[in-house]
Amino acid sequence: MIFNDRAFDGLSVFTAVVESGTFAAAAEVINMSPPGVSRAIARLEKRLGIRLFDRTTRAVSLTVEGKDFYRQILPLLAALEDVTSSASLATKAVTGRLRVNIDPFFSSLVFGPQIETFMSRYPNLELDLVTRDRLGDMISEGFDLAVRFGVPRDSSLVARKLLETRIMTVATPAYLERYGRPPTPEALMEHTCIHFRDPETGRPFEWEFHREGRVINVPVEGRLTLNDARMLHEACLSGHGIAQMMTFGSDQLVQKGLLVDLFPDWPDERFPLYAYYPSRINPAARTRCFLDFILELAKG
């Protein structure tokens, strides 16, 4: 399929309207007149042969066909961001202040050890890093970007999946020598397990095991409940009990022999990492450089 500049313009206008909520608001974001936005949408609808928006005097809303089209083009827009990001960052000085709402696990165990590398790479960038359990209202609080683990909830923010990490069940060799290695996930009910609290619900995560489409839940027992990833590591490494943790940021503990992956034959439970930002339209160079750095960390 061959795209021309007008096709790309139509997609950018369409995305602006979806994310802004009205033609007038989209016009301000992309520096176009409201009639120009309306004409661009009309041309796009004519090319596609579908109606994208239901229009009223106060607002616009996506039609069913419009929602399907938006879902289909999101991966394409993300790919275009990746392609253009490197070229843009190569020609722009990354300056200014970047305020990031960051997941505590990612902050302490993944990004924290690499802060000096990031700051040295962008010497003119000021980074304001806020570690929080919850996403909150990032726009009203002045955040440019948020990085959170977990499935996105419905919002007006752009949510971009950065990676998926496997959930593994681990214990120290000393614990296993003392109490024995559980042969199956169900055998965990006879062991001391360390609970980790879900920041969204306030309740401990359930222990699940996934393999080839099969999912089992195991009601584990334990007297210790935590909400800090580093403390989870320390408690497990102390030999207190068995824990579930993400391989991203933790797999080196298994590689070094400090922890044992108990059920590598149940490898299919995944947990996603997402980036959130207010608009897909021309994100600032400082935002893109942070996203690119996270993707580098993910690739190892």
CATH number at residue 154: 3.40.190.10
Residues sharing a CB contact under 8 Å with residue 243, sequence separation 6 or more, in sequence order: 169, 170, 171, 193, 194, 196, 232, 235, 236
Check residues 120 and 89 and name the one with the higher pLDDT. 120
Domain boundary among 30, 61, 89: 89
Instruction: List residues bridging with 149 in a β-sheet.
Output: 273
pLDDT digits (tens, 9 = 90+) for 160-201: 888 899 999 999 999 999 999 999 999 999 999 999 998 878
Q: Are residues 131 and 197 located together in one domain of the fold?
A: no
Q: Are residues 156 and 110 located together in one domain of the fold?
A: yes
pLDDT digits (tens, 9 = 90+) for 67-90: 888 877 776 666 565 555 444 444
Alpha-helical runs (H) found in the chain: 5-20, 23-30, 34-48, 64-91, 104-105, 115-121, 173-179, 229-237, 251-255, 285-299
Q: Are residues 99 and 179 located together in one domain of the fold?
A: no
Q: Based on the structure, what is the number of domains in the chain? A: 3
Q: Are residues 179 and 189 located together in one domain of the fold?
A: yes
pLDDT of residue 89: 47
Domain range for 82 is 5-89
Task: Tell me if residue 269 falls in helix, strand or coil.
Answer: coil
Q: Are residues 225 and 293 located together in one domain of the fold?
A: no
State in Å, rounded, how far the first CA of the chain is from the last one: 35
CA distance 91 to 173: 51
Q: Are residues 142 and 281 located together in one domain of the fold?
A: yes
CA distance 161 to 177: 39
Q: Are residues 23 and 154 located together in one domain of the fold?
A: no
DSSP letters, 154-171, are S-SSEEEEEEEEEEEEEE
**Mean confidence (pLDDT) of the chain:** 85
How many CB atoms lie under 10 A from the CB of residue 191?
Answer: 19
Residues sharing a CB contact under 8 Å with residue 152, sequence separation 6 or more, in sequence order: 159, 274, 276
Check residues 83 and 152 and name the one with the higher pLDDT. 152
Using a pLDDT cut of 90, give the percent of the chain over it: 41
Q: Tokens 């933790």 sit at which residue?
A: 250
Domain boundary among 74, 89, 104: 89
What are the phi and psi torsion angles at 216 (to 5°)?
-125, 145
Q: Are residues 262 and 184 located together in one domain of the fold?
A: yes
Q: Are residues 177 and 225 located together in one domain of the fold?
A: yes
pLDDT grade for 285, boundaries at 50, 70 and 90: confident
Q: Are residues 14 and 143 located together in one domain of the fold?
A: no
Domain boundary among 89, 108, 123: 89
To the question of pTM greater than 0.75 for the whole model, the response is no
Short-list 135, 114, 98, CA closest to 289: 98
pLDDT of residue 4: 45
72-86, 151-165, 229-243: least confidently modelled range: 72-86
Q: Are residues 264 and 201 located together in one domain of the fold?
A: yes
CATH number at residue 54: 1.10.10.10
Please determine, for residue 145, whether its predicted confidence score (pLDDT) is greater than 80.
yes
Q: Are residues 230 and 171 located together in one domain of the fold?
A: yes
